Structure 1
Amino acid sequence: MTDPDRSSPDRTAAPDTVETLQARVEALYLESRTLHREVRRLQAVQPVLGLRPRTPSPVMRLAMRLMPGLRRRHHLRMIRESGLFDGDWYLAAYPDVAAAGLDPAVHFLLHGAEERRNPGPHFDTAHYLALYPDIAESGLNPLVHYLQAGWAEGRSIRPGMPPRNAAGGGR
């Protein structure tokens, strides 16, 4: 005959194992939340810039001054190539733009920044314009300004990202 104590599973071990696993899952969850907060903090400190635009030649700058359509095309290309503009994100965040069937980059350039819409998750338009009233007063598209000068000046593009210089990056 078999010994009943040996063939039946230990019924007290199962609840202990479940409690141990539950405690481990909770600890991992808390650790995960801490790591997510740290990632967000680090993302706020270091801007994500896909491509910094080349400075146009003096002849091109003159042509853009004389022909607003050429300047708009140049700014549109800068926005699209920057890495800070995310068309899919923009359409998801602003369903009215998607419903209207508008090109998200064109909408942001012509209307979105003025409406304080963000071009993507890593650039906060309202933050940039509130922090740098000179840009808000100039009427420049804040992302275009950041790409042309703000990045080099160390300006902050979202809450939690400190300016790189003591003057706060303003001119």
Structure 2
Amino acid sequence: MAAAEQQSGIKKELPDALAELQSKVETLYLSQQTLERQVQALKATHPVVCRRPVQPVFPMRILLRFHKGLRERYQVAVLRDCGLLDSVWYLRNYPDVRKAGTDPVLHFLRFGAAERRDPGPYFDTTHYLHLYPDIMQSGLNPLWHYLTSGWREKRSIRPEIPHEDLR
């Protein structure tokens, strides 16, 4: 008789324990969902400090417009310092550039962007050109465009980063 009463007591306690466990599972699930949203928000932020080029003084802008060699040297200096072009990453991911002994910044400026190569892990050239066909049609280097005006227009540089609809 005592065993039957004990079993009956356990049966009464079981629904309470299950309800408590269910409540804990629901709380943990909601916490997980909140954390996943926070992770997505963090992924959407720029993981590097991107330095925009300083606007050159007027006489220099005239020289840059008409002197191709000077313009290229200026762009190389800006890209080297921008924080989105990672030379080590570029050479590791594009062994043909490393094998050729070419400066990765110069290669990206002259050929890499047109070949849809990424300048580093934080800028997706194909994504940028696909999302903004006006840049592809203009023939501009997508990283250069982003540094000079795309950041101001809140253009997306990676699929995880939200963008303003410019259409």
- TM-score of the two chains, using structure 2 as the length reference: 0.73
Q: Is the 8 A contact 2:47 2:122 kept in 1?
A: yes
1:2-151 equivalences under 5 Å are 38=39, 42-46=42-46, 48-151=48-151
CA distance in 2 between partners of 1:85 and 1:107 (Å) = 11
Note the C-alpha offset of 1:41: 5.3
CA distance in 2 between partners of 1:92 and 1:44 (Å) = 25
CA distance in 2 between partners of 1:63 and 1:42 (Å) = 41
CA distance in 2 between partners of 1:140 and 1:47 (Å) = 24
Q: Which residue of 2 aligns with 1:17?
A: none
CA distance in 1 between partners of 2:139 and 2:105 (Å) = 18
Q: Is the 8 A contact 1:47 1:157 kept in 2?
A: no
Q: Summarize the Cα distance change of 1:47–1:150 in structure 2 as closer, same or farther, 3 Å threshold.
A: farther
CA distance in 2 between partners of 1:60 and 1:162 (Å) = 35
CA distance in 1 between partners of 2:41 and 2:117 (Å) = 22
Q: In the alignment, residue 69 of structure 1 is paired with which amino acid?
A: G
Number of residue pairs aligned between Structure 1 and Structure 2 = 133
Q: In the alignment, residue 97 of structure 1 is paired with which amino acid?
A: V
Note the C-alpha offset of 1:50: 3.2
CA distance in 2 between partners of 1:138 and 1:49 (Å) = 27
1:114-169 CA deviation, whole Å, 9 max, x = no partner? Answer: 00000000000000011111111111111111000001111000101111x3x34x
Q: Is the 8 A contact 1:79 1:85 kept in 2?
A: yes
- Aligned Cα root-mean-square deviation (Å): 2.1
Greater Cα offset, 45-54 or 111-120: 45-54
Structure 1 gap segments, 5+ residues each: 1-30
Structure 2 gap segments, 5+ residues each: 1-31
Note the C-alpha offset of 1:48: 2.8
Q: Is the 8 A contact 1:45 1:162 kept in 2?
A: no
CA distance in 1 between partners of 2:123 and 2:64 (Å) = 26
Q: Is the 8 A contact 1:128 1:142 kept in 2?
A: yes
Percent of residue pairs bearing the same amino acid type: 52
- Give 1 or 2 for the bigger CA radius of gyration: 2
CA distance in 2 between partners of 1:117 and 1:57 (Å) = 32
CA distance in 2 between partners of 1:152 and 1:142 (Å) = 14
Q: Which residue of 2 aligns with 1:18?
A: none
